Amino acid sequence: MKIKSHLEKLNVLIQEYNSVPVPDLYKDTYSTVLKAVLAKSLDFSLFLYRNRSPKNSFFYSPFLRGLCEDLITMKFLKKHFSSDTNTVISEYMLYLMFGSINAQTMFLKKNAPLQRSVAYKEIEGMIAEKEDALKKLMEKNGLNKNKIFPSVEHMAIDSKLKPLYDFLYHATSRMVHFSPNVLLRMGWYEKDGPTVFSSDNFHSYYESFNKFYAPYLLVNLCQSFKKELNLKPDFMKEIKSIEAKFTPYVFYPELITYEEMNFKRPKDGTFERILSEIANMPDGDKMISSLESYLKENENSDLSKEHQTIAWIKNTFSTN
């Protein structure tokens, strides 16, 4: 079964997890935000798999960073603010909102002075008040008292998600900041040119990248917060089916490709090709799971993993 089918099933099942009664909206802010994080993650994956305009994929990639930071931050808050999660989220939410109001006021004052907008005369004092409240919360919970909120990199290290954060940071930050690499990657030419620049020239790359890592993040989120979200077996069954697609034997879309470096992509050896073909079979996820169980059972064997895998392949396919 393909990832899209599992996502569609999750979209039906999520009705049980993506709502909060209005009177309870702020009783448990952490849980409410966590439900919103789940809905956002699933919605984005579904959007990518339902979207019929892959040529716009270039513009969707930066959203992966937000999903990654949601995962990292919620894990960090769960670990360090066991009794203050609701308070720290509420204070941080107000801090961000007051900052946005101030930025909006300054911008409109210069560009549209006659336009009315939400504004407070004491907005700078309100921001300072929230900064102070957040610093006290940091100190109370054993964190740096001089920080309003930990950096995402710090939280990623603490949550043991630094490699994932670094990878997606490099993939997405260069798209929202100035990057000659990304801009020149938009160029394409046939034979003698000319080189034509367009965001859809590399769209197949961005489409495959997004469709791989969006559900990858969704799986990580559900595995990390299965208990907090009270995810039932039917929901987790679909998550595990998606997770099975991310074996070490499938192709993980890269940040920098051989093709853009004008390098010839090395061919996989026979062993790697066999594993890749198995992973991409209709029941490849089940077969790979069976192989991993077999290797675990025989981890003390004198045979190499390659020879054990060959033995498993012979046994599996001769039985079938």
What is the arithmetic mean of pLDDT over 120-136?
A: 96
Please give the mean pLDDT across all residues of the chain.
88
- CA gap 123, 132 in Å, rounded: 14
- pLDDT, residue 7, reads 96
The structure tokens 């208990």 sit at: 227
So where are the chain's domains? 3-81+141-257, 267-320
Lowest mean pLDDT of 62-66, 123-127, 205-209, 308-312, name the range.
308-312
Yes or no: say if 32 and 48 are a contact pair by the CB < 8 Å rule. Answer: no
pTM, full prediction: 0.83
- pLDDT, residue 156, reads 96
Say whether 188 sits in a helix, a strand or coil.
strand
Q: Does the structure show a pLDDT above 90 at 281? A: no
Q: What is the pLDDT of residues 80-107, one digit of tens each?
A: 987 889 999 999 999 999 999 999 999 9
Q: Which residues contact 146 (CB under 8 A, 6 or more apart)?
A: 135
Percent of the chain with pLDDT over 90: 62
- pLDDT, residue 269, reads 60
Q: Please list the alpha-helical segments (H only) found in 230-269.
A: 233-243
Say whether 104 sits in a helix, a strand or coil.
helix
